[in-house]
Amino acid sequence: MAYSLVRFLLTPSVLLLCLYVIWGEQIFIDNEWHESCSGRKMPVHNPATGDLLCEVEEADTEDVDKAVQSARAAFQLGSPWRCMDASDRGLLLNRLADLVERDRLRLATLEALDSGKIFLMAYFVDLMATVKTLRYYGGWADKIQGKTIPVDGEYFTYTRHEPIGVCGQIIPVGKLIQKAAGDSNLKRVTLELGGKNPNIVFADCDLEYAVEQAHSGLFFNQGQCCLAGSRVFVEDSIYEEFVCRSAEKARNKVLGNPLVPGVDQGPQIDQKQFDKILELIESGKKEGATLECGGGPWDRNSLFIQPTVFSNVTDDMRIAKEEIFGPVQQIMRFRSVNEVIQRANATHYGLAAGVFTNDIDKALTVSSALQAGMVWVNCYNAMSTQCPFGGFKMSGNGRELGEYALQEYTEVKAVTIKVSQKNS
């Protein structure tokens, strides 16, 4: 949720074209709630119980067109939005942050009901990140500046960073968006397409801390996280101890209703994802990985999956190559720095990576060699609003968050003016 909010800074009219808003069951267009043009509704179920929560209006092409038309109107010359001072736009973002902060309890509860996310994670991580992101970009609103350029000849040249216009966002199916953009008119897209992220643990690290960080780096949000450190490479001399401690932590996880205090793993998001995860777990068993714990459903009547840890995983196994997006940790053995760098990079993905070592030279060498958009040293999932988020290779293109994200939503315009320098 927080990653998307940068677009409100330069194209706040997108606020008018949000097709789904978790605070209501209708479609929000042009500052009003509407029923869908088709009249179709989409059922929303609680993944922890299977109960129907509500039905929301299902937007179609006609609804999207109306939303885009409304948003484009905000960019017309003389429109209230276009005439608004940049500092006032920043105030609006901060006002939205105030409202999110005010309704933080309600929003976290809705998130837990809708997705199965642990309530405390939604409250202290997701909603906190949303508020921080809004305030961060609210501060940028009147600080987006161009440059003056000393060009040859009697000219004065400067640059303006202007908003690209109406933006839309679809959270999943990034590859389909990329293809559609290429097939039509080469629209600019920012894509985050997932990862199979390596987490490298050297023998000279703080072992207990590395175990804890590797555990949380994988099992956060039931493993349904693009940043999940799902390929844990552990140096040979500490491998057995690391596996033993990791399995113990996984066995001690408490599963249940994400709204109940003390529960630290909720259900998977839906039946399709649940089935995919179990199928990949079965592939790990068949291909010879050692199942240390878990390995199946927690309850036959729900979408919970036991926290699962595999050891003796090899690079050619499906669980080592495919993004599982579930509570399944794969622990692999390595013996040298060069070996683990080569193996860590042997993937189509390149979103994130982790390195655990007390040797600063080793940390710098490995982090510079890893083909990933984000590398964490002696930590994992250390996200911040100020830091760019994005990946290399098939993990997508473009960046969200930080100053770098502003480049994704602006066009640079060069203005050159003929200047006479003759004496009058």
- In angstroms, rounded to a whole number, what is the distance separating the alpha carbons of residues 268 and 308? 14
Say which of 192, 235, 323, 400 is annotated catalytic.
192
User: Taking the alpha carbons of 415, 416, 422, 424 in that order, is the dihedral positive or negative?
Assistant: negative
Number of H-type helices and E-type strands within the chain: 15, 16
C-alpha 359/C-alpha 292 separation (Å) is 30
Q: 398 Cβ partners below 8 Å, 6+ apart?
A: 189, 190, 191, 390, 408
Pairing of strands 410-418, 155-163: antiparallel
Contact 7, 167 (CB under 8 A): yes
Beta carbons within 10 angstroms of residue 383's beta carbon: 15
Q: Please, is 337 exposed, middle or buried when counting C-beta atoms within 10 Å of its C-beta (0-12, 13-18, 19+)?
A: middle
Using CB atoms within 10 A of its CB, is residue 122 exposed (0-12), middle (13-18) or buried (19+)?
A: buried
The answer to whether 292 touches 234, Cβ cutoff 8 Å, is no
Which segments of 314-387 are extended strands (E)?
328-334, 352-356, 374-377
* Rounded Cα–Cα distance for residues 14 and 29 (Å): 9
- 192 is a catalytic site residue: yes
DSSP 124: I
Catalytic machinery residues: 192
